[in-house]
Amino acid sequence: MVPHVVIIGGGFGGLYAARRLSRGHVRVTLVDKHNYHLFQPLLYQVATAGLSPGDIATPIRSLVSRQSNLEVRLGEVTSVDLAARTVTLKDGQLAYDYLVVAAGVSHAYFGRAEWERFAPGLKTLDDALELRRRVLTAFEEAETEEDEARRQELLTFVVVGAGPTGVELAGAISELARFTVARDYRRFDPRQAKVLLVEAGPRVLSAFDPALSDKALRSLQKLGVDVRLSTRVTDIDARGVRLEGELVAAHTVLWAAGVAAAPLSKTLGVELDRAGHPEVFVVGDLAAIGQPGGGFVPGLAPAAIQAGEHAAENIIALVAKRPTEAFTYFDKGIMATVGRASGIAQAGQLRLSGLVGWVAWLFIHIMYLIGFRNRLLVMIQWAWAFFTFGRSARLITGTSPEALDRTLDVERVA
Amino acid sequence: MVPHVVIIGGGFGGLYAARRLSRGHVRVTLVDKHNYHLFQPLLYQVATAGLSPGDIATPIRSLVSRQSNLEVRLGEVTSVDLAARTVTLKDGQLAYDYLVVAAGVSHAYFGRAEWERFAPGLKTLDDALELRRRVLTAFEEAETEEDEARRQELLTFVVVGAGPTGVELAGAISELARFTVARDYRRFDPRQAKVLLVEAGPRVLSAFDPALSDKALRSLQKLGVDVRLSTRVTDIDARGVRLEGELVAAHTVLWAAGVAAAPLSKTLGVELDRAGHPEVFVVGDLAAIGQPGGGFVPGLAPAAIQAGEHAAENIIALVAKRPTEAFTYFDKGIMATVGRASGIAQAGQLRLSGLVGWVAWLFIHIMYLIGFRNRLLVMIQWAWAFFTFGRSARLITGTSPEALDRTLDVERVA
């Protein structure tokens, strides 16, 4: 009987593990709750209307359709029984000989789960569409609002957390207001929109060299972003954000402050630490979180890819009864953009910033994007946005929670 | 005081009326419940994963941002008071001197409103995403289904109505199954999927010349579509479709059989017929429906554009106290595609079919698409799909009604 490998999650870690296992004498089942692989580094561009979902998501099945030892299963994992070696899905069960857990992470609200409703985070495509809906709707409501104070609330956007996602979101929203929709409204000037970026630590992009953090900070300020460093959020509700006393009235609050393992993975992590299961491999962002102190492997795509491929190699070794090897992370560097034509990058001794950093960011992201078609489409849209300041995907779709509430009320009455 | 024109609807009729009014000494408010203009002729391609929503939708504001006598209002019209000359929105009221009603149409279920739940129609972007979700989910569920009869139900797709939308949907679903996802599943052969196209009339695409209808029929059959002509649907429920006795068990049923004016427009139409209001203009698909016998203006984009511009000219004339002119429709012809490299077109004495018809269809649709960027992106994706048989937007997004039901249950318990 050929050993069965179950991989939970079709992100970078899971997908590259699956692909590498084509070399092994195993059969593989890749489980994901979505039918697509998502290029998460560009998710903020969907949230800020720069790209369409289809540009950064590719059906998992089409990525592995030629790999004959692999099956894809659309499903949500509810529990893992490490003793029995089974994975339970909402609609079934899978027995495994080897397990790769690449389930990714979720938002962490530091014990304030009630904030999520008012300040959604950005991890999934549905998150991105919800963020886009909130941002675009705020401008629309500002156009019909008669009360000046209330209008300013609608035009106030608060981003919590100045890591790469927070910085990129704040920069993109500020650009959207100052350039893209600048001429689109008649009753207010979109350039009066306020974008606040709130960070508890003393600098933005703290993973970078302090000199680069400083450059990013100045780029943000040049874009009109009001950056509040060493400032803690003490409360978030429907009216806005409270910052150690000061109340910032804001219609739109976005959360980019922290990630956590999902409850399933948490339990799993504890059990794995206690017992040690050589047939189970944890890779990707989840593994990054798993490290005490968080110092080992960062939650980045290249790290997830390396760890996924490494787990696959070790499984192939175990099946062949060869010794496994310890994982060593090859640091390819880190990079971030801060709006139009400005980025920072560091790798080894190399430091890039400004236009050069931005061009480097651009090429690396195009390179890593899966599929020639996606690369071409994204390049065209970026070129288009660069020259016209336009954003292509400014669509308000989906149902707002309020509209949903209304439906529910109607149903309850009926 | 400058006369105020209110336009309800930002489709072809409303948008072209608004643009033409830039020449008039009027101020214009364009109201739409969506923030984008939708290129409806390609909506079926979003429903069948060929294009992304962003490719066929453009923010209305960006289309008219330079038109200084125009305001865009995002909002839903709940009623029109013809006597008082006011339009009531969910969140406000607008007084008008002239009114252009270009509100479009909705699905008509011929008195069987309960069918809508099982057989959704295709008029909006949200409709298209729901159809896409249903079609793609059916294949996913077929992969995990153990019961062979149930699997065949999941792989049975019924399209009701063989007008252009029905024919295009049926052809595209058949192509999706036979080419795009042909190698993507392990437990069944997607080519065993059945696509039924059910039509009450004696031929497909009855607006066309019978010889062209016949060619389209043969193209559909070559694509593997099971076309049932002169066949009436007698019932639709969760199990499938009943056709004058025969029960076709099907997981996915799509409705393309008829359109009707929305309730608001219906009331309005009756009142307009009774009283006659020279300051009110009804254009677009709604006007097509309004004609007794339906023989006058077809529900097509070119007709809506002409009627919209004509209404604008007449409003300009009325404001200038010049006489108005009657509308004459200039028939540019009709066209439809039947899957890959096959289309039909007729204009005057001209008849095109096969590859030539398809190329004509392609160029006309690219030409009419608004915005150079959209044209470029759509062309690239069509070229890509043509050479690779791939479909770019195979993403299952949004919440399924069942998942929503589950959430509600949880909330009710809590």
Q: What is the DSSP letter of A36?
A: E
pLDDT given at position A411: 33
Q: And the tokens for B25?
A: 């000494």
pLDDT given at position A228: 97
In three-state secondary structure terms, A173 is: helix
Using the beta-carbon criterion (under 8 Å), do A398 and B398 form an inter-chain contact? yes
Q: Is A107 left (phi over 0), alpha (psi -120 to 50) or beta?
A: beta
- What percent of chain B is predicted at pLDDT more than 90? 67
The DSSP line for B318-342 is: HHTTPPP---------EEEE-STT-
pLDDT given at position A401: 47
Per the prediction, chain A carries an average pLDDT of 88
Smallest Cα distance from B284 to chain A, Å:
23
In tens, the pLDDT along B159-182 reads: 999 999 999 999 999 999 999 898
Question: What confidence category does residue A413 fall into, taking pLDDT thresholds of 50, 70 and 90?
Answer: very low
Using the beta-carbon criterion (under 8 Å), do A376 and B377 form an inter-chain contact? no
Interface confidence (ipTM) of the complex: 0.85
pLDDT given at position A276: 78
Instruction: Please report, to the nearest 10 degrees, the dihedral formed by the alpha carbons of residues A282, A284, A285, A287 taken in order.
Output: 30
Q: How far apart are CA B48 and CA B70, in angstroms?
A: 35
Question: What confidence category does residue A289 fall into, taking pLDDT thresholds of 50, 70 and 90?
Answer: low
pLDDT given at position A114: 93
Q: Inform me whether the pLDDT recorded for B256 exceeds 90.
A: yes
Catalytic residue among A130, A145, A153, A168: A168
Question: What confidence category does residue A222 fall into, taking pLDDT thresholds of 50, 70 and 90?
Answer: very high
The DSSP line for A105-129 is: EEE--TT-GGGTTTS-B-SSHHHHH
In tens, the pLDDT along A321-339 reads: 999 998 888 888 999 998 8
For the residues A223-246, what does the mean pLDDT come to? 95
- Residue A399: list chain B partners with CB under 8 A: 126
For the residues B254-269, what does the mean pLDDT come to? 80
Q: Inform me whether the pLDDT recorded for A78 exceeds 50.
A: yes
Taking a C-beta distance cutoff of 8 angstroms, is the pair A284, A102 a contact? yes
Question: What confidence category does residue B286 fall into, taking pLDDT thresholds of 50, 70 and 90?
Answer: confident
H/E/C letters for each residue in B181-233?
CCCCCCCCCHHHCEEEEECCCCCCCCCCCHHHHHHHHHHHHHCCEEEECCCCE
For the residues A86-112, what does the mean pLDDT come to? 92
Using the beta-carbon criterion (under 8 Å), do B392 and A54 form an inter-chain contact? yes
- What percent of chain B is predicted at pLDDT more than 70? 93
pLDDT given at position B373: 75
Smallest Cα distance from A88 to chain B, Å:
14
Comparing A19-33, A166-180, A278-292, B105-119, the range with the smallest average pLDDT is A278-292
Question: What confidence category does residue B399 fall into, taking pLDDT thresholds of 50, 70 and 90?
Answer: low
The residues facing B194 across adjacent strands are B156
Q: Which positions of B are annotated as active-site residues?
A: 168
For the residues A255-261, what does the mean pLDDT come to? 85
Of A61, A92, A394, Cβ closest to residue B144: A92
Question: What confidence category does residue A205 fall into, taking pLDDT thresholds of 50, 70 and 90?
Answer: very high
Smallest Cα distance from B397 to chain A, Å:
7
* Single-letter residue type at A288: A
pLDDT given at position B410: 34
pLDDT given at position B403: 44
Q: How far apart are CA A278 and CA A316, in angstroms?
A: 13
In tens, the pLDDT along B23-51 reads: 999 999 999 999 999 999 999 999 999 89
pLDDT given at position B296: 59
Q: How far apart are CA B246 and CA A356, in angstroms?
A: 67
* Single-letter residue type at A8: I
Of B61, B143, B373, Cβ closest to residue A392: B373
Using the beta-carbon criterion (under 8 Å), do A62 and B394 form an inter-chain contact? yes
Taking a C-beta distance cutoff of 8 angstroms, is the pair B180, B339 a contact? no
Outline where DSSP puts E strands in A152-301: 156-160, 194-198, 225-228, 233-237, 240-243, 246-249, 252-255, 259-261, 280-282
For the residues A51-70, what does the mean pLDDT come to? 92
Q: Inform me whether the pLDDT recorded for A236 exceeds 50.
A: yes
Taking a C-beta distance cutoff of 8 angstroms, is the pair B380, A380 a contact? yes
For the residues A217-245, what does the mean pLDDT come to? 95
Comparing A169-178, B260-269, B325-334, the range with the smallest average pLDDT is B260-269
pLDDT given at position A393: 74
Per the prediction, chain B carries an average pLDDT of 88
Q: Inform me whether the pLDDT recorded for A41 exceeds 50.
A: yes
Q: Inform me whether the pLDDT recorded for B234 exceeds 70.
A: yes
- Predicted TM-score (pTM) of the model is 0.89
